[in-house]
Amino acid sequence: MNTEIQHSLNDLIEIARDGGDFYTEAAGKVEDSELSTLFGQMATHKRDIVAGLSADVAATGGEPAEHGTTVGTMAQAYTNVRAALGDTNYEYVSQLEQAEDRLMTAFKDTINDSDTPAAAKASAEKYMPRVVECHNIMRSRKEAMKAAS
């Protein structure tokens, strides 16, 4: 059972770490200071989620994931290229909103999967409000930027 809990939570850790790394990089690449500050705050939220889930994995006797995913790394590289060729601010907001979609979907899948152990569901449910909040912030920012253009 502990192995299943660890596997479920480590998947979430990897995806949250992808988002945190992406926000940190984006904060240094955008010229808009408000966006840079927002991205820094969002990176902190992701680090908090990673730290909490890592503690939950460790509490089961497991080793928390220490890296992100290949998909996350590729999305980050893709965005860097697109941002260099177009509207840097919008490209980062758009791609970070997609990263939020990915994280929220992973949390929902973990919570709703009948095969997910109760302890892993409880851990995911504990962080779900923060995941939803971050997702909504980025979705609203993307929609506002799209409407303004």
| pLDDT tens column, 36-48 | 999 999 999 999 9
* Chain segment 2-30, per-residue pLDDT in tens: 788 888 999 999 999 999 999 998 999 89
* Chain segment 85-108, per-residue pLDDT in tens: 557 889 889 989 999 999 999 999
The whole-angstrom separation of Cα 110 and Cα 40 is: 27
| pLDDT surpassing 60 at residue 78 | no
| pLDDT surpassing 80 at residue 68 | no
The radius of gyration of the chain's CA atoms, rounded to the nearest angstrom, is 16
The whole-angstrom separation of Cα 145 and Cα 100 is: 17
The whole-angstrom separation of Cα 149 and Cα 60 is: 49
Rounded to 5°, angle at Cα 88 from 86 and 92: 120
Determine contact, residues 91/79, Cβ cutoff 8 Å: yes
| pLDDT surpassing 70 at residue 75 | no
pLDDT number for residue 40: 97
Q: How confident is the model at residue 52 (pLDDT cuts 50, 70, 90)?
A: very high
H/E element, 12: helix 2-29
| pLDDT surpassing 80 at residue 70 | no
What mean pLDDT is predicted for residues 69-79?
Answer: 59
CATH architecture of 2-148: Up-down Bundle (1.20)
Q: Which residue is associated with the tokens 């705050």? A: 41
